[in-house]
Amino acid sequence: MTAQVIRAATAPDVVTIDRLSFDLGNRFNAITNGQSILNYPSYCNRLSSRQDLDYTTPDFVGFQSFRVDIGATSYKVGAIAGALGAKPTFGGDKWLLAQQYLFAGLAGLGVSTQAHIKELRCTVPDDQDPAQRLPFERLAGQSWEFSVNSTRYAVRIDEVRIAPEGLFAWRRAVQDGLLLYPQYPNAVLDLGGGTAIARVVAPNGLIDREKELVLEGGTSALAANIAGEVSLLGCEGAILDAIADGSYRVHAVDFRSTYDTLLMQWVDQIRSDLNTRWKQSMNQIAQILVIGGSAPIFAPFVAGNARWVVAPTPQFYGLEALHNA
């Protein structure tokens, strides 16, 4: 008779991560570890216990769809949530969904199921707003257990650092030589899905809080205008997807001609708002750095104008700057 050796199952080693950086967006969320960036749709809703999911489909395999379980509550996150009727986050309060989006992103980025994150960096439009800070601050100094696509995770986050959108993009643009006159105030225009955030940064790196602007200039406003013109109300998310993929079609409706007309109006409105609301100080601003996911459709209208500087890879320019600062 041979002896039988029974070994107890051992838990996986805890992997320590010095830093992760997360951008909670209105249309897309992005997370990076400095080596790669995961970008995934910003849709989230409760998941019914009766809803079937297939984790072998391309959207799940490609980390664009997730099932996130926190405690006894399940959520569908990303593309699958949009496909099953969730509204885009620009139509709701994204801060209430920060945890669900972050946990999905951690799994999609390939973080170990047992992880110790020393520092999590996050950007928010208004870093002085407690409603925007609290969902992230409460993550610090705690361990979190959750499941993503039926895989269990235990993640500890030591510290959370919160930064206002645009500030680190300004710092990087100065270092990269994109902003040619750092001895003068320069501005950053972050064109997102829900809003456009514009702020002026002094040469010493301080944000001029008196000149902070939140414009109704995100591409959600453009999509809403298009939807009203072509009778696609309620399809704003699909319109934005069709703009991004270049099809300019939702269902059987081709909205290209309407898009071309309203796009010019959208750009003109943003520029007009800046000129009007910064009327007293516009001549003191050297250049305006344009970042954000909607920057590429804005860029052709300021091409050749040395005062406007569109960042390379503008959707991730600020996130990369935040992470590498």
Please state, in angstroms and rounded to a whole number, the distance separating the CA atoms of residues 193 and 79.
16
pLDDT score for 286: 97
Total-model pTM: 0.91
pLDDT of residue 176: 96
Residue 4 belongs to some domain of the structure = no
Same domain, 90 and 148: yes
Q: Are residues 152 and 271 in the same domain?
A: no
What is residue 190's three-state secondary structure?
Answer: strand
Q: Hey, what are 2's tokens?
A: 């041979």
For residues 182 and 149, state if they share a domain.
Answer: no
Mean pLDDT check: name the lowest of 10-19, 92-101, 195-204, 254-263: 10-19
The tens digit of pLDDT for each residue in 164-173 reads 999 999 999 9
With tokens 């897309």, the residue in question is: 28
Look up residue 59 and give its amino acid: D
Show Cβ contacts of residue 175 under 8 Å, excluding neighbours closer than 6 positions.
none
Please say if the pLDDT value at position 92 is more than 80. Answer: no
Whether 226 and 280 map to the same domain: the answer is yes
For residues 27 and 40, state if they share a domain: yes
Average pLDDT, the chain: 92
Question: How many domains are there within the chain?
Answer: 2
SS3 of residue 241 by DSSP: helix
Which strands make up the sheet holding 213-215, listed edge to edge? 213-215, 196-201, 186-191, 288-291, 308-310
Q: Is residue 8 part of a domain?
A: no
Residues 182 and 232 both lie in one domain: yes
Asked if residue 34 belongs to a domain, the reply is: yes
- Tell me what pLDDT residue 216 has: 72
For tokens 């496909």, the residue is 83
| pLDDT of amino acid 192 | 85
Domain presence at residue 293: yes
Percentage helix, strand, coil for the chain under 3-state DSSP, each rounded to 5: 35, 30, 35
Establish if 216 belongs to a structural domain. Answer: yes
Amino acid 220: pLDDT: 87
51 plus 118 within the same structural domain: yes
Q: What is the mean pLDDT of the segment spanning 200-222?
A: 90
For residue 306, how far is the Cα from the chain centroid? 28
Domain boundary among 103, 131, 164: 164
Tell me what the mean pLDDT of segment 197-211 comes to: 95
Indicate whether 159 and 176 sit together in one domain: no
CA-based end-to-end distance of the chain: 64
29: nearest Cα among 80, 104, 118, 87:
104
Q: Domain boundary at 141, 164, 187, which?
A: 164
8 A C-beta contact, residue 118 and residue 158 = yes
38-82 tens-digit pLDDT: 999 999 999 999 999 999 999 999 999 999 999 999 999 999 999
Residue with tokens 């459709």: 297
C-alpha dihedral (192, 197, 201, 207), degrees to nearest 10:
-120
177 and 287 part of one domain: yes
Burial of 7 (0-12, 13-18, 19+ CB in 10 A): exposed
Q: Is the pLDDT of residue 208 over 90?
A: yes
Pairing mode, if any, of strands 28-32 and 308-310?
Answer: unpaired
**Contact at 8 Å (CB) between 292 and 271?**
no
Report the share of the chain in percent with pLDDT over 70.
95
CATH number at residue 117: 3.30.420.40
- Closest-CA residue to 170 (of 285, 254, 89): 285
What percent of the chain is modeled with pLDDT above 90? Answer: 82
Q: How far is CA 41 from CA 31, 32, 99, 123, in A?
A: 12, 15, 15, 17
160 and 22 share a domain? yes
297 located within any domain: yes
Indicate the residue among 164, 180, 205 that finishes a domain.
164
Residues 274, 157: Cα–Cα separation, whole Å = 39
Interval 9-38 mean pLDDT: 90
Range of the domain at 38: 15-164
CA–CA–CA angle 228, 273, 133 (5° rounding): 85
Residue 319 in this model has a pLDDT that exceeds 70: yes
Q: Residues 79-103: what's their mean pLDDT?
A: 87
**Is residue 228 a part of any domain in this protein?**
yes
User: Residue 1: pLDDT band by 50, 70, 90 thresholds?
Assistant: very low
Query: Distance between CA atoms of 246 and 102, rounded to whole angstroms?
Result: 29
* Distance separating alpha carbons of residues 203 and 193, to the nearest angstrom: 29
String of DSSP letters for 25-74: -SSEEEEE-SS-EEEEE-BEEE--TT----TTSHHHHTTSEEEEEETTEE
- Segment among 2-11, 51-60, 98-107 with least mean pLDDT: 2-11
Cα(108)–Cα(209) distance, rounded to whole angstroms?
36
301 and 181 in one domain? Answer: yes
Average pLDDT for 282-287: 96
The answer as to whether 112 is a domain residue is: yes
